[in-house]
Amino acid sequence: MNKRKLALGPGSRAWLPAFVLLAVSFLLGSAAGFVMSSGFAGEDSASAFLKGYLLSLEGAVKSSGTGRLFWETGAYHVAVFLLGFTVFGAIGIPAVSALRGFTLTFAMATLVRLYSFSGAVAGLVLLGLTAIISVPVFFVLAVDAMWCSAQLARTGLTGAPPAGPGIYSRAYFIKFLLAIFLLILTSAGERALILSGLLELPVF
């Protein structure tokens, strides 16, 4: 068994520090989103912001296929994958994780604060369905990307060769392609439900 497999294999705990760092970043971003939602500039401003977002999303769902729904969640996955090819991933990937936590919590908390139960339902419709799949997939990609970025930084700083046969294995790319496929399927399913009327975007 090579060192790369030892570092990321399911039987090893070497991935745990990266996961903990990403989870803490996500939770800090979530906490910031909650605090920012509580201090949002008045209910009128928050309501206008959400209504504008919902109208924009509804128009995109009806006219732009699944692209807009996919990009709402997939942008974070693409970002961490690309950061895995740079030495800045050790900083950038936790930052993306924090941003993901912030956007999810800010939107949900603002909806609940303004509209109580109906806001919670809206949050589950707009955020919860995709988050069930997108958040775990995000962490899988982000942990691998952190390892790759750390290997790049180690090689650049010390001149030491990367652990294992190379930094980027076939699995790294396969996981990314599978993640994109899952997100596209999720977005397509959500769009189909919205267009069929079984899952309606809230109108306040």
The model's pLDDT over 60-87, given as tens digits with 9 standing for 90+, comes to: 666 666 777 788 789 999 999 999 999 9
Q: Decide if pLDDT at 199 tops 50.
A: yes
| Residue 127 domain flag | yes
| Residue 204 domain flag | no
Helices 129-158 and 89-123 pack at an angle, to 10 degrees, of: 170
Query: Higher confidence at residue 74 or residue 129?
Result: 74
| Residue 202 domain flag | no
Q: What's the pLDDT at 181?
A: 94
Q: Model-level pTM?
A: 0.79
Q: Rounded mean pLDDT of the chain? A: 77
Total of domains in the chain: 1
Query: What average pLDDT does the segment 90-109 reach?
Result: 91
| Residue 3 domain flag | no
Q: Which of 50-54, 127-131, 148-152 ranks highest by mean pLDDT? A: 148-152
| Residue 5 domain flag | no
Distance CA 18, CA 28 (A): 15
Distance CA 150, CA 7 (A): 12
Q: Which domain holds residue 41?
A: 15-196
